[in-house]
Chains A and B, each alone.
Chain A
Amino acid sequence: MSRDRRFPDEVAGPFESPPRRFEDREGREIEIRAHDGSEREYEALASMYGEFDPADRAQGIPPSDDRRIREWLDNIFCDACLNVIAWDGDTAAGHATLVPDDDAHELAIFVLQEYQEAGIGTHLMEALLGHGAESGVGKVWLTVERWNQPAVGLYKKIGFEISDSESFEMEMAIRLTDGSDEGG
């Protein structure tokens, strides 16, 4: 799956790395932390994706049944992958992930329905990109359905630029460091 991707020339950020705490627009105390590799966090995420509204799936993820959810989580919790999770107490409210791809990383972000439109997505994105930058990630890309204007707006606000609008899904990209990607 290697093909030439375009990335902005200018470096975005800096982004503050996790952990970070804030009160969301619904008054909930949210904490964002990097994934600690524990079984407890894995199970909390499997539970979050089990409750995920199928209407909020994007290009087939998250999968809809428990077995496929766990296969997918195993894939995106690879050694070189980076994951941050938004917590409301012991409940996983959102999750953002960077998965290595040649000399860059692919990004995806998910916020559980009842926690959407509360400012959590912006914090999650910034925390993940901060975590990525401090871990040596230089270039990040994502795809988004072109009708999903709230998501496109969020990505633009963070500093993503449209890099390919000729496919079914729109591709957007951001540069975190001057050099090439040093791994994750």
Chain B
Amino acid sequence: MRILLGVGGSDDSLRALERTIERANEAGDDLTVAILDEGGTDRTVDDIEADVKEALDSGGIEADIRYVEGDPGSKLVDIAESEGFDRIALSGGTTSPMGKIQLGSTAEFVLLNSHVSVSLIR
């Protein structure tokens, strides 16, 4: 399966990356990692890229890395639909101090607009 994983600068994005790498190893998925500029984090795109490469190396998997500029949600959907991906994967949200799951604006847009199946990683 061809998977397009969106990764931003938050901790939950990196957890989603690790889980998706594990899954790709088990299922033989063809993985593409899209680095998103979501804001709301101190991490730069270079920092995120370094984390992504390290996770791919330690997971023993090869993946294309893409840089997505502009609105992260609409760009992810556009890439997935126009390039024939089977699935978009995203972090399933952050949790509040109370422990409530909160869905970010990227995930909300992708869920409501994508014609490609979407996995939220928890």
Task: State the A residues within 8 Å of B (CB).
Answer: 1, 3, 58-61, 72, 75-76, 97, 99-101, 106-108, 143, 167-169
Contact = CB atoms under 8 A, between A and B. Distances in A.
A72 B100 CA distance: 10
B40 A61 contact: no
Contacts of A100: 97
7 contacts: A60-B100, A60-B101, A61-B99, A72-B99, A106-B97, A143-B100, A167-B102
A108 B101 CA distance: 13
Given A99-B98, A168-B102, 13 more contacts: A1-B94, A3-B40, A58-B100, A59-B101, A60-B100, A61-B99, A72-B99, A76-B99, A99-B97, A100-B97, A107-B98, A143-B102, A168-B103
A99 to B, nearest CB: 5
A104 B56 CA distance: 39
B57 interface: no
A138 to B, nearest CB: 16
B44 interface: no
B58 to A, nearest CB: 27
Main secondary structure of the interface of A (DSSP, over half): strand
A137 to B, nearest CB: 13
Contacts of B94: 1
Contacts of A106: 96-98, 100
A81 B101 CA distance: 19
B98 A61 contact: yes
Interface residues of B, number: 13
B99 A1 contact: no
Contact of B105 (A61, A108, A167, A169): A167
Interface in B16-64: 40
Interface in B65-111: 94-103, 105, 108
A100 B100 CA distance: 14
A168 B100 contact: no
Contacts of A76: 98-99
Top 4 nearest A-B pairs (CB, nearest first) are A59-B100, A60-B101, A101-B97, A99-B97
Nearest to B96: A106
Nearest to A59: B100
A76 B98 CA distance: 7
A101 B96 contact: yes
